[in-house]
Amino acid sequence: MLRLSKKLLFAIEAVVDIAYHTGPGPVRSTDISRRQGIPRRYLEQVLQHLVHRGILAGQRGPRGGYRLARERRRITVGEIVRVVHEIEGLRDPAGESNGSEIGIKVVRPIWLRMQDEMMGRLDGLTIEELCDRARVSDIEREAAQIPDFSI
C-alpha cells in the first residue's frame, strides 16, 4: 500500500542527507537528526533497516556513522519505500479478496494500478536526482562531496 508516513519521509530524508553531506568519513546520525529535525529514536531504527537491506553501510565506533552502500545513482526512492513498508508491516486492503463486487472488480483494480504506476515512478527516481535537486535549491553542504565513481 502506498502510504506516506513520517517514518517514510524520515527514511528518504536521511538517505538523501547521507548522500548529500557525505565527506571523507561516515555521516553521523546525530548530524542527520540535527539537520533534518528527525527524532533519533525513529532515525536509528530506520537506518538499521536500511543497512540490513543494503541501501546503507554502517560503521561503528567513535568515528562511526553511515554511508551509502552503493552509488547514489543506483539507489531508488522505491527501494526505500519498500523497506519502510516492511518495517511498518501494514497490510494493503486493496489486495484482499473479500468485499463487495464493485470494490473487488472496479475500485481496487484502479487503486492497484495507480500504486503500480507510482512505484514505477519511485523506482525511476534516484538518490542522485534528489541530491541534484538539493544542489539546485542551494541547500548548503556541510562536507565536501566525494565523487561518485562508476566503472
**Average pLDDT for residues 110-138, to the nearest whole number?**
95
CATH code linked to domain 6-91+126-136: 1.10.10.10
pTM comes to: 0.85
Alpha-helix residue ranges (DSSP H) falling in the chain? 6-21, 29-36, 40-52, 77-88, 101-102, 108-123, 127-136
pLDDT at 145: 47
- Please, which residues have CB within 8 angstroms of residue 34's CB and are 6 or more apart in sequence? none
**Average pLDDT for residues 12-32, to the nearest whole number?**
94
Least confident of 31-35, 72-76, 146-150: 146-150
